[in-house]
Structure formats: structure tokens, C-alpha cells
Amino acid sequence: MKSLLLLQSLGFGATVVANLSPVQFKAPTPSHFAELVANDTIDFGCRPIARPTSDDNFSLHALLTESQITHFEREYALHPSISIFREKVKRQSTRTPIGTGNRFSSGTVPKGLGQQPAGTSIPSIMNVNEINSAIQAIARTYGASTLTLPYRTFNGATQTILYVGAGTDKTRYHLYLSAAMHARERGGPDNLLYWLSDLLAANKTGTSLTYGAKTYTIAQIRSVLSAGIVAFPLVNPDGVAHDQSTNSLWRKNRNTRSGTSGSSIGVDLNRNFDFLWNFKKHFSASASPASTSPSSETFYGTGPASEAETKNHVSVYDSFPKIRWFMDIHSAAADVLYSWGDDENQGTSSSMNFLNAAYDGRRGIVGDTAYKEYIPSADATNSRNVATKMAAGMRAVGGRSYTPMQSVGLYATSGASDDYAFSRYWALGKNKVYGATLEFGKASGNFYPTVTEFNQNILDTSAGFMEWALAAIAVGLE
């Protein structure tokens, strides 16, 4: 066999942020990673994803401290089939800066890339004040509406959403997008706000929008607007404010109820939704879809929807009861994920479902037959087709490749926003919502993009949202 440990040298310009280094584990099969993925002290980004490599192995991305790297170097010296590689990281100075001041405070509306000459570059990422001002500026400039959500965050922030395209009747809104649930995934709010602003500006002047090699006609733009778009650009304002001021790759919110220092602060909002939240009960003991440990990046909170941000996110469905399609905007894995995320899909046994207590203790193991999550075949087709069209549209922009895949991938999650959205129909008898998660950005898992990457992300996602909305409209909004 080859050498057991292949720790590559970082070379010139390497800088580590927050004392975490991006690494890849490599092994011949995904099941080699089973123990790793069960270890909730490891940061795998949004969810652990094992990808096939060109040499018939699989790679698993993670962010580790130096002492964790040392630990796994020693550990895998005894397991020749798993290797650990460092990934190249960017110089800190090449990261897109966070805006200083407020570009939108005077009511200046953010201008997306769809109406600007090719090669135009937006130089900085919106800070929290800029996001809030941008929401107000878009509403005022184009006569769109805002809604303040009922709960204040742990640090006292109010949360405002924007709804555009279908007037003031909230039952005419069918598309819901949210961003920045994970604080460090920079650029999510920017992607959403620049796209909305582009749609409204194009509608006003009757022009088309161009993103790289993709152009959308005014008829397509008006069709998307009239589907009614609800946008929640900043789901985790406390976490984003902290991440932007510390560059610490902060993911969770800032609730100190379960821990008051360091990594024990905060709840992973994307494990806090009321979908199989109590994973210790609902999942197999050998699945690790979330964590009960406050210091884990996937800490599930103190109860289903215990967090104000989660409650606010859920309240949007109640305010806009006809939402049919939901998209949660994350980074960075270059894929589009569709339901379900708790186990593999199956369309034959409707009683084998997330509500059935008879299957408690069996969920969440990919590749077994003890449990697979029920999805009616038409729903499976609809979710997969829309994600596939979205990924294809993003590829066609000209930047990079995006892969559509089922959320569960190789490892399960509990309490995620996309599964919660889709579960409401069965759990609560509410309108059916197809939930999906976009992981924009390069597959390398770089949360802090360079200016070039940040602008490519805006182009990719603007086209991606257009494709998603057009495909959703084609499937149906009611």
C-alpha cells in the first residue's frame, strides 16, 4: 500500500482561520468513515458528504484543529485504508472583506449582477446593518412589503422578511427562500438580495437579466415574480454579527443557555427544527444526525424549535399558508439537496414514515433495509427534477459544476429546515412544501470566498434561483 499519512505541506500563502484547517479524509468506501461521522467533536460543515474521487476512493471534507489533526495522524497510522490530507487554504487577505459603514443606509438599493456589464465585481460582503438596510431599500424602491417576525433573537435582534411580486395578499405567495442559518457561510444574504433586486429592477424597465452564459427574458422574470417570493435573508443575525467581527468560522446562533464560553455557546439552527428532533429516540444508536453536546457544531438545542430564529422561520409558513417550494441557502459544497435527509427514500410502504413510532431506533442508516423514509413517487420525481434543473442552470452559467442529490447522501440529519418544510403536510396537515437546500460555492467547503468566488457565487445563485423558480412553476404552485 501507499504511505499511510499524506500530510501535504501548505506552501506559500497558507493561513488558517479560527485555528481550524480544512482537511480531507480519503478511504475506499463511505462506510470507512462511519466512526468519524459519528464523532460529534468534528466539524463537517453543513452535513458530512462523502464524494467519489477520480481514483475510485471517497473523500470526506472536515475542518480540524491542529491537535485533532495530530490525533487522526496517529489513529490512521494503524488504519492503512484511511488517509488524511490538508487542503490548500487562501491567504486571509484574499478573502472578500465585510462591508464597513452602510452602503444602503440612504435608501440606495443594492444592484445585482444581472443588469451590470459582464466582469462587474461587487467588492464586499454585506454586514448585518447593510442586510437590514438593503431589505428596507428594496421594499421602498420597488413597493415591496416587509414583515417583522414575532420573536427576538437571543441577543435581541428583530428579524424582518421581504415579500415581493404578488401584492399584499399573503395567500398568493408560493416560493420561500432563506439564508444565513449557518453564520459563517458568507454571501448567502447577498445572493438572495441581489437576485430579488435584479428581478424588480428588470421588471420595472422591462429588460432581461444575464448571468454568465444564461439570459432570462422579461416574460420569465415576470412569471417568477408573480409566483410570489418570500425572502428571509438573515436567519441567524447574532451568529453572523459574531462571525463577521471575529472571523472565527462561527456556525451556530449565540444562545448561552446551554454553555457560556467558547464552542459551548449556541445552537445549530439547522438541527433545531421539529422534524425527528429527538434523534436519540427516533434514530438508530449508530446514526449521528445531530448532537446533544452544547460544544458540538451540530448541537440540537433544548427542544424542538427551542430557538427564536427557528420559531420565526416556522412562523413564515403560518403567515404565508400557500408556500409550496422552500429553498434554504447554505455553502459551500456545490450541490442542490432534495428530500429526504433522515434516510434513503422509498415509495412503496407508506406506513414506514417519520411519524410511525414502530420505527423508532431504526432510522438513519444508509444502505440498510431496516428503515427508509416514505415519499410518494410523484413527490420524489418533482423534488428531484426541480433540483436537477437548478443544478444544470447553475452549471450553464459557466463557472462550476453543481450536483443534485438527495439530502441524506451517505449520512442522515435530524431537525433540518428542508425536511421540516416537507414534513408539515403529513405531520400537521398543512400545505405541502417541497424543501431543498442549496450549497452554493466550490465543493472545497471554503466558507469565506475570495472576491472572484463571491461574485461567481452571485452569478451562479441568481441563475440557480431563476431555474428553481421556473421549474417549480412548471410543476405547479397550488
Ligand X SMILES: *[C@@H]1O[C@H](CO)[C@@H](O)[C@H](O)[C@H]1NC(C)=O
Fill in the amino acid letter for 249: L
Which residues of this protein are in contact with ligand X, per CB under 6 A?
Answer: 2, 26, 39, 41-42, 55-57, 68, 71, 83, 142, 164-165, 200, 203-204, 225
Question: Which partner, ligand X, Zn ion, none, binds residue 55 by CB below 5 to 8 Å per kind?
Answer: ligand X
Question: Which partner, Zn ion, ligand X, none, binds residue 330 by CB below 5 to 8 Å per kind?
Answer: Zn ion
Question: Which partner, Zn ion, ligand X, none, binds residue 339 by CB below 5 to 8 Å per kind?
Answer: none
Helical segments of 100-174, H only = 128-142
Cell representation of residue 252: 451556530
Phi, psi (deg, nearest 5) at residue 49: -130, 120
Which range touches Zn ion (CB under 5 A), out of 46-54, 92-100, 367-375, 389-397?
46-54
Question: Which partner, Zn ion, ligand X, none, binds residue 196 by CB below 5 to 8 Å per kind?
Answer: none
Are 347 and 380 a contacting pair, CB within 8 Å?
A: yes
Between residues 5 and 14, which has the closer beta carbon with respect to ligand X?
A: 5
Interstrand relation of 345-346 and 373-374 (parallel, antiparallel or unpaired): parallel
Helical segments of 59-215, H only = 66-77, 128-142, 188-205
Active-site entry in 439, 453, 467, 478: 439
* CA atoms of 471 and 245, how far apart (whole Å): 38
Cα angle value 183/185/188 (rounded, 5°): 100
Binders of Zn ion among residues 306 to 345 (CB under 5 A) are 330
Of 308, 311, 146, which is closest to residue 229 (Cα–Cα)? Answer: 146
Question: Which partner, ligand X, Zn ion, none, binds residue 187 by CB below 5 to 8 Å per kind?
Answer: none
Are 299 and 443 a contacting pair, CB within 8 Å?
A: no
Binders of Zn ion among residues 144 to 183 (CB under 5 A) are 182
Are 161 and 232 a contacting pair, CB within 8 Å?
A: yes
Between residues 86 and 271, which has the closer beta carbon with respect to Zn ion?
A: 271
Confirm whether 439 is a catalytic residue.
yes
Between residues 44 and 154, which has the closer beta carbon with respect to Zn ion?
A: 44
- Return the bridge partners of 98, or none: 125
Which range touches Zn ion (CB under 5 A), out of 45-53, 125-133, 191-199, 461-469?
45-53
Between residues 2 and 478, which has the closer beta carbon with respect to ligand X?
A: 2
Between residues 31 and 41, which has the closer beta carbon with respect to ligand X?
A: 41
Q: How far is the CB of 256 from ligand X (least distance, A)?
A: 23
Select from 17, 42, 46, 240 the one that contacts Zn ion (CB under 5 A). 46
Backbone torsion region of residue 45, taken as left when φ is above 0, otherwise alpha when ψ lies between -120 and 50, otherwise beta? left
Between residues 56 and 169, which has the closer beta carbon with respect to ligand X?
A: 56
* CA atoms of 14 and 92, how far apart (whole Å): 8
* CA atoms of 465 and 476, how far apart (whole Å): 16
Q: How far is the CB of 200 from ligand X (least distance, A)?
A: 5
Query: Which residues form the interface with Zn ion (CB under 5 A)?
Result: 46, 182, 330
Q: So which residues are the catalytic ones?
A: 439
